[in-house]
Amino acid sequence: MTYFLFVVFVVVISFSFVVLFGAPYLPVMTDSAEQAIDLLDLKEGQTIIDLGSGEGKILRLAAKRNLNVIGYELNPILFLISYLSTRRYGRRVKIVYGNFWSKEIPSADAVFVFLLPKYMEKLDKKISKIKLNHGLKLVSYSFQIPGKKPYLESNNLFFYQYNQSS
């Protein structure tokens, strides 16, 4: 009984403390995840980052298409699940444990996010600070960046383009 309560406590804490730093866990629908990757139109070997990668759906779908993927996840349980479920893709998938707001995000070809409206402006500033080697594509599921017109919009997916100078 004590062991069971301890496990419940750990699970509750893991899923709840994250809301102090960002969106709670809610997985993107598989169809939308596939569409998001289609929209990004990346070539094999290019890199996509999922900021708040959950149990790793985007990471697995992208790795299956021979893309390199980097996920950032703060919930230790989701980090572990995503880590274990992506081992078969080897070095193609890297998952960083921690708060992505406090990490330096490397240059990549694309970023996927499923956050909350209140974080979208902060996200825009964070993305604008990435030292880009070239342009970067961003797809946000469900939520738009305030004051920024998406380049494309489809089925709740909002596509933005960042250039080296922006």
Ligand X SMILES: C[S@@+](CC[C@H](N)C(=O)[O-])C[C@H]1O[C@@H](n2cnc3c(N)ncnc32)[C@H](O)[C@@H]1O
Q: Closer CB to ligand X, residue 72 or residue 160?
A: 72
Please state, in angstroms and as integers, the Cα–Cα distance from residue 160 to each residue in 44, 87, 112, following that order: 21, 30, 10
Q: Closer CB to ligand X, residue 103 or residue 148?
A: 103
Q: What are the beta bridge partners of residue 110? A: 48, 137
Q: How far is the CB of 45 from ligand X (least distance, A)?
A: 22
Q: How far is the CB of 165 from ligand X (least distance, A)?
A: 27
Q: Closer CB to ligand X, residue 15 or residue 162?
A: 15
Q: Closer CB to ligand X, residue 21 or residue 162?
A: 21
Q: Closer CB to ligand X, residue 23 or residue 63?
A: 23
Q: How far is the CB of 140 from ligand X (least distance, A)?
A: 10
Q: How far is the CB of 90 from ligand X (least distance, A)?
A: 21
Q: How far is the CB of 99 from ligand X (least distance, A)?
A: 4
Separation of alpha carbons 18 and 117, rounded Å: 16
Please report which helix (H) or strand (E) contains residue 6, including its range. helix 2-16
Separation of alpha carbons 73 and 80, rounded Å: 10
Please report which helix (H) or strand (E) contains residue 85, including its range. helix 76-85
Separation of alpha carbons 139 and 57, rounded Å: 15
Q: What are the beta bridge partners of residue 160? A: 138
**Which residues of this protein are in contact with ligand X, per CB under 6 A?**
18, 21-23, 25-28, 50, 52-54, 57-58, 72-75, 78, 99-101, 114
